[in-house]
Structure 1
Amino acid sequence: MKRFLLALIYTGAVMLANPASADISAAAALRDGDMKKLNFHSEPKPAGTAEFQTFDGAPLTLADYAGKYVLVNFWATWCAPCREEMPQLAELQDLLGGDRFEVVTIATGRNPPPAMKAFFAEIGVTSLPLNRDPKSLLSREMGVLGLPITVILNPEGQEIARLQGDADWASDSAQAVLSSLLETM
């Protein structure tokens, strides 16, 4: 019992000393359903620095999104779970997107631009960007193995969470987790 109380006091002191840990702990506690697959890191990790590009070929990096929480989704036109998940990501962007949060989609590998455009048209997604990583430089740098992979970046541009596989990003749990993070800004 004494050890439990000491551990509880230590955990509380750590959270008070490091508000970011408390914020992440609060968000992690709200995970339910598919969001249980969302793994928050004990410490933020560096995000990839490799360039990717807009649909039209303009260069981008994840640093371009500094100052807001960013949900980065790596996908491909041939990925069946991506087809299910993408409309939910669009709904999440419609609900929470703005100055403090953004959903960034990145088609990784060989995804011809016409096929990307057709993919979004077929599933009725209009509010998400058609970014691409044709040589998989960013996805390799970030250890993306399999698709879809979704990472959450904090406003400092560090990876704080990762979910492998698809999830219902329009669920109440997903919205609660992300809203909890946004409350800290």
Structure 2
Amino acid sequence: MRWKIVIPLVAAAGVASLIAGGVYHHSATTNAREAATQPSSRSQAVETPTSAGVFTMHEQPKQVPELQFVDGEGRAMGLDAFRGKTVLLNIWATWCIPCREEMPSLDRLQAQLGGPDFEVVPLSIDREGLPAVEAFYHELGLEALGIYVDKSASAAYRLGTVGIPTTLLVNAAGLEQGRLIGPAEWDSEDMISLLRRELQSINTASNR
């Protein structure tokens, strides 16, 4: 199934319904679609389709708001902890069925590409916090991924998500390079090739 990309602004009420419903929104109103396709003087987006989903890559990287969450040990941290490496930031929750289905492929992606220059950061917005996420990791046997939790779910609002899962590609300078809304086969051949190309492009740009 192909998922449509829409990036409207999210209101606080929208986040509340997202948390309560646990359903990925793969459709939008006509107005939202039109707003998402309007040209911007600051940045234009290029949709990059793969067999696993559609990544919207920005011609100009975008600022990422400050996020606060905890790691698997309960220690407070933010995205600045990953500064210097490219991050695939995945916003998800254990009650979100598409999120649950894609997590094993994210685990395999981290095992394959994770290292000094790249890391998958799955940020849970579960209100039940670490216990719910730890139990889910144990249930699925996830081993390569770290645990990160924002039980306030403020990250979903601050990032302007319209549903989960939503995944951001954040470059080594902490800027949003691209975004994919909806689930994906993260360790598919197409996706691996796309991410390798983007990593190479990001590294080339940072060395100029």
Aligned length: 159
SS at match of 1:183: helix
Q: Distance in 2 between matches of 1:70 and 1:108?
A: 18
Q: 1:33: which partner in 2? A: 51
- Cα deviation for residue 155 of structure 1 reads 1.0
Are the equivalent residues in 2 in contact too, given 1:83–1:123 (CA < 8 A)?
no
Instruction: Tell me which amino acid in the other structure corresponds to 1:86.
Output: M
Gaps of 5+ in 1: 1-23
Q: 2:182: which partner in 1? A: 165
Identity of matched residues, %: 36
Instruction: Tell me which amino acid in the other structure corresponds to 1:141.
Output: R
Q: TM-score, normalised by structure 1?
A: 0.79
Q: TM-score, normalised by structure 2?
A: 0.71
Q: Distance in 2 between matches of 1:152 and 1:81?
A: 19
Are the equivalent residues in 2 in contact too, given 1:75–1:107 (CA < 8 A)?
yes
Instruction: Tell me which amino acid in the other structure corresponds to 2:52.
Output: D
- The partner residue of 2:130 within 95, 113, 117 is 113
- 1:135-173 CA deviation, whole Å, 9 max, x = no partner? 122221111231111100011110011111100001011
Question: Where does 1:34-53 land on structure 2 (aligned, <5 Å)?
Answer: 34-35=52-53, 37-53=54-70
Q: What value does the CA root-mean-square deviation take over the aligned residues?
A: 1.9
Question: Where does 1:1-185 land on structure 2 (aligned, <5 Å)?
Answer: 31-35=49-53, 37-184=54-201, 185=203
- 1:32-81 CA deviation, whole Å, 9 max, x = no partner? 2123x211123111112121111222111112111111000111010111
Larger Rg: 1
SS at match of 1:110: coil
Are the equivalent residues in 2 in contact too, given 1:47–1:62 (CA < 8 A)?
no
Gaps of 5+ in 2: 1-44, 204-208
Instruction: Tell me which amino acid in the other structure corresponds to 1:71.
Output: L
Change (3 A) 1:117 1:34: same
Q: Distance in 1 between matches of 2:122 and 2:170?
A: 13
